[in-house]
Structure 1
Amino acid sequence: MKLKNTLGIAIGSFVAATSFGALAQGQGAVEGELFYKKQYNDSVKHVEDGYNPGASIGYFLTDDVSLNLTYDKTNHTRSNDGTGHQKIKGDNFGLNAQYHFGTVGDALRPYVSGGVAHKSMTNVIADGHSGRDQSTFLTAGAGVKWYITDNLFARAGVEADYKLDNGKWDYAPTVGLGVNFGGNGGKVAPAPVPAPAPIAEPEPEAPIAEVVRVELDVKFDFDKSNVKPQYAADINNVADFMKQYPATTTTVAGYTDSVGTDAYNQKLSQRRADAVRAALVNQGVAANRVDAVGHGKANPVASNATAEGRELNRRVEATVQAEAK
């Protein structure tokens, strides 16, 4: 019956993970997990090591930090050393915080954890009689989560528990399978695009002004945001044009190819736009005249199905126009 219940929970979790399109990692996400650990019971005398099934639920306070409630059941272990080979049972409750390394959307996210736990065991031999051992532990752990999809992950790690009663340690290598849902996906709100300034209607008698413009198209290497030296002349040309027409402003727009997650490409495209903006400012253009906006992998100019097309899509674009006097 216990096996059927566990399978039912696992299948239900998988269905939930694959049924909701709005599920995401990041701040605000909830993670639920079923795990199984090898429990080395070194802090209690006359108790064999065991295998403990358990479950946890956590909430991401930020993109990287989660707070987790855990429960596992002492199972598959007995007393030893001439104490009757009694079956040991118990309950373990814990609260811990996890810090995740890397970026939301990465397939592998290592983590470290720390917290507190309360554990109890029945039929523990102490002072010549059987009873219940109840203790408080400080916990520390480390491991890695593999996000098989944005919402389904597997975990492998190890936990060390320090028993405050006698200063001894327990250890527990652990594997788990879980679901993640409800977060912001690591996305940040894009920078607002300034509204264009209204253009005054010319007087009927005035001659029609000639509009002059200059365009900028900077390409980037895969997963890079540094501006290559070959585009220095093009950037200088745009900077000279803006200095010639001091009333002009522009917005540099950054893009990526389709490789990688939406969250990562959004940040990469913003870094590329910021790099071109910085190059224009370094050439003497006032910072308040240049905005930078990342658009991720939106608006491709070529097919992402080929290497040549992806190379064309890794770009920053800008246009500046003015009325010639």
Structure 2
Amino acid sequence: MKLKNTLGLAIGSLIAATSFGALAQGQGAVEGEAFWGKTWNHSVDSYQNGRTPGVSIGYFLTDDVSVNLTYRKDEYTRSDADTGNQRIRGDHFGLKSQYHFGQVGDMFRPYVEGGVSHGSMSNVVADGHTGRDGSTYLTTGAGVKMYITDNLYARAGGEADYKLDNGRWDYQALIGLGVNFGGSGGKVAPAPAPAPEPAPAPVAESAPAPEVVKVQLDVKFDFNKAVVKPNSYGDVKSLADFMKQYPKTTTQVSGHTDNVGPDAYNQKLSQKRADAVKQVLVKDGVRADRITSVGYGKTRPVADNATEAGRAMNRRVEASVEAQAQ
């Protein structure tokens, strides 16, 4: 089977694998990737620049550090025209370690890498050689992974290979598509359900029912932001004034997001939004121990996330306070 067909099957398998619930990022995850690269050959004078498809598999020792085995096929390199324009084939096997910046669940995770590889390339017959030439390389590189979902990612990066035999460099620009399996760091436990409010004390039939007053808060946020906008300060202050008028009241501030981005990222963003509203309430004079802030991520939409208007309604923080009228 030709390598391009093998890569096509691999990419199809990567996309199909994202339907399994066992997939996750973080410590213990296994990442599989198919990639394609453009190579600039400088370690051998008579080689033209080539293209190198390949695959890799990695294991996350921690949430940030992975160890990766790689294989790439030097399939399309040629010798220079004055040596007969001979087609050159080769293989590269590598062992690398990647350090990822940011946190598990972030949509973008830049990385740096380093390692060692062994490559073999067919010799240029016109130069008077036959067979293959084997070489050892030191490898370094950097790039960024974009997690399209919690489990499917795309990668773009660059690598430089230092050939120990002659002290010269080869360079590659790479793009890839991959999935990860079995980690636990990317999954955030769902926020606990709010405790049920205690049942009101029984009231004697002869006594009139107390009047209940209530204030509700609904603060909207810009996309991917957790900053309370100035036009919402007045609503937050109204809730704070109500709580100061009824000093025995407490409230839960609930943060929510739309459905754009990974689950873990939205969970963190919703918590930041809830905390931001709590900070404004405290600044307006409400004690912090009277306010609980909880993020629910994208699990509780109030509108259709298929439209921009619906997503805007879902980017919100809610709160309500009830008290018996004085």
For the aligned pair, the TM-score class normalised by the smaller chain equals: 0.7 to 0.9
Q: CA deviation at 1:121?
A: 3.0
Q: Residue 178 of structure 1 aligns with which residue? A: 178
Q: What is the identity, as a one-letter code, of the residue corresponding to 2:93?
A: N
**8 Å CA contact 1:120, 1:135 repeated in 2:** yes
Q: Is the alpha carbon distance of 1:99 and 1:2 closer, same or farther for their aligned partners in structure 2, counting shifts above 3 Å?
A: same
2: distance between equivalents of 1:270 and 1:291?
11
Cα deviation per residue 1:18-59 (whole Å; 9 max; x = unaligned)? 252426553254322233434434234655554444221123
Q: Residue 32 of structure 1 aligns with which residue? A: 32
Q: CA deviation at 1:274?
A: 1.1
2: distance between equivalents of 1:151 and 1:194?
30
Q: Is the alpha carbon distance of 1:183 and 1:233 closer, same or farther for their aligned partners in structure 2, counting shifts above 3 Å?
A: same
Q: Is the alpha carbon distance of 1:62 and 1:219 closer, same or farther for their aligned partners in structure 2, counting shifts above 3 Å?
A: farther
**8 Å CA contact 1:52, 1:74 repeated in 2:** yes
**8 Å CA contact 1:23, 1:180 repeated in 2:** no
**8 Å CA contact 1:77, 1:88 repeated in 2:** yes
| Aligned residues: CA RMSD | 4.2
Q: Is the alpha carbon distance of 1:214 and 1:187 closer, same or farther for their aligned partners in structure 2, counting shifts above 3 Å?
A: farther
Cα deviation per residue 1:55-100 (whole Å; 9 max; x = unaligned)? 21123456665432212244555777879x7966454323131536
Q: Secondary structure at the match of 2:31?
A: strand
1: distance between equivalents of 2:10 and 2:87?
35
Q: Is the alpha carbon distance of 1:130 and 1:219 closer, same or farther for their aligned partners in structure 2, counting shifts above 3 Å?
A: same
Q: Is the alpha carbon distance of 1:201 and 1:176 closer, same or farther for their aligned partners in structure 2, counting shifts above 3 Å?
A: closer
1: distance between equivalents of 2:54 and 2:5?
13
Q: Secondary structure at the match of 1:118?
A: strand
Q: Within 5 Å, which residues of 2 pair with 1:113-192?
A: 113-121=112-120, 135-145=135-145, 151-164=151-164, 166-183=166-183, 186-192=186-192
**8 Å CA contact 2:268, 2:297 repeated in 1:** yes
Q: Is the alpha carbon distance of 1:41 and 1:232 closer, same or farther for their aligned partners in structure 2, counting shifts above 3 Å?
A: closer
Q: TM-score, normalised by structure 1?
A: 0.74
**8 Å CA contact 1:159, 1:171 repeated in 2:** yes
**8 Å CA contact 2:149, 2:261 repeated in 1:** no
Cα deviation per residue 1:260-318 (whole Å; 9 max; x = unaligned)? 55444333322221111111111222212211112233434444455554444332221
Q: Residue 15 of structure 2 aligns with which residue? A: 17
Q: Residue 214 of structure 1 aligns with which residue? A: 214
Q: Residue 317 of structure 2 aligns with which residue? A: 316
2: distance between equivalents of 1:297 and 1:253?
12
2: distance between equivalents of 1:82 and 1:308?
64
2: distance between equivalents of 1:131 and 1:305?
59
Q: What is the identity, as a one-letter code, of the residue corresponding to 1:116?
A: G
Q: What is the identity, as a one-letter code, of the residue corresponding to 2:159?
A: E
Q: Secondary structure at the match of 1:71?
A: strand
2: distance between equivalents of 1:315 and 1:154?
30
2: distance between equivalents of 1:184 and 1:64?
13
Paired residue total: 319
Given the alignment of the two structures, is residue 266 of structure 1 paired with residue 267 of structure 2, yes or no? yes
Single out whichever of 113-122 and 57-66 deviates more from structure 2.
Answer: 57-66
**8 Å CA contact 1:27, 1:183 repeated in 2:** yes
2: distance between equivalents of 1:37 and 1:318?
52
Q: What is the identity, as a one-letter code, of the residue corresponding to 1:231?
A: S
1: distance between equivalents of 2:307 and 2:88?
63
Unaligned 5+ residue runs, structure 2?
none
**8 Å CA contact 2:10, 2:34 repeated in 1:** no
Q: Residue 5 of structure 2 aligns with which residue? A: 7
Q: CA deviation at 1:119?
A: 1.7
- Of all paired residues, the percent bearing the same amino acid is 50
1: distance between equivalents of 2:13 and 2:167?
43
Q: Residue 291 of structure 2 aligns with which residue? A: 290
Cα deviation per residue 1:131-166 (whole Å; 9 max; x = unaligned)? 875554332223455666665555443311123454
Q: Is the alpha carbon distance of 1:62 and 1:279 closer, same or farther for their aligned partners in structure 2, counting shifts above 3 Å?
A: farther
Unaligned 5+ residue runs, structure 1?
none
1: distance between equivalents of 2:231 and 2:57?
52
